[in-house]
Amino acid sequence: MDQLKLNQVARDIIKNNHHLTLGTADGDPWVAPLYYCVDDHYNFYYASQLTSVHTKHVLKNPTVAFAIFNSDQKEGTGNGIQASGKVFLLTDSEVDEALKWYTTTFIECKKESYMSPAPYRLFKIIPDKYFVQDPDAKIDKRVEVTLL
C-alpha cells in the first residue's frame, strides 16, 4: 500500500477508537488501558490519578509506548497503531487548553476537576513515531507513518 494510504489508515484508527494501551516503565514495566482524546496535531490527552502505577512511572520516566486497536477485529484482518512518545503532566495553566480537546462523561470537564485537591490530573502524550501494519504485505510488515 502506498504511503499516503497508510497514513490515512493510521488517522482512521485514531478517529474510530477511544482507548489506547499505554506502556510505561520504571524498573518494572506496566500497561494500562486509557480513554483518550486527540487534538489537531495528534497529541493525545488522558486523565488519571496520581496514585496509579502508570502515572508514578511517567512522572519518573516520561518515555512511553502505546497501541491503539479495535479488539473486536477478526483475527488476521485487523490493524492498529504502535507508537512511542513522551507523556507530560499538564500544569494548572495548561488544563484550559487541554479541555478544548479532552471530553468525557466520567469526570466533569472543568478545570477544577483536574487540579488539587481533586484526584485526577490531565496528561498529554506527544508522540514521536507511529507505525501500522501494511495490509497489502504478504507477511506482517510494520511501516512508519506520518499523520500531519
CATH code where residue 36 lies: 2.30.110.10
Number of domains in the chain: 1
Identify the pLDDT of residue 63. 97
CA dist list (Å): 105 to 8, 23, 35, 110, 121: 29, 25, 11, 12, 15
Range of the domain at 135: 3-145
Q: How far apart (Å, rounded) are the C-alpha atoms in residues 111 and 95? A: 6
What is the distance, to the nearest Å, from the Cα of residue 26 to the centroid of all Cα atoms in its chain? 19
First to last CA, the chain: 18
Q: How far apart (Å, rounded) are the C-alpha atoms in residues 24 and 63? A: 7
Residue with cell 484550559: 96
At 4 the three-state DSSP class reads: helix
Q: For each of the chain's 148 residues, which pLDDT tens digit applies?
A: 899 999 999 999 999 999 999 999 988 999 999 999 999 999 999 999 999 999 999 999 999 999 999 888 888 777 999 999 999 999 999 999 999 999 999 999 999 999 999 999 999 999 999 999 998 888 888 999 999 9
Identify the pLDDT of residue 73. 80
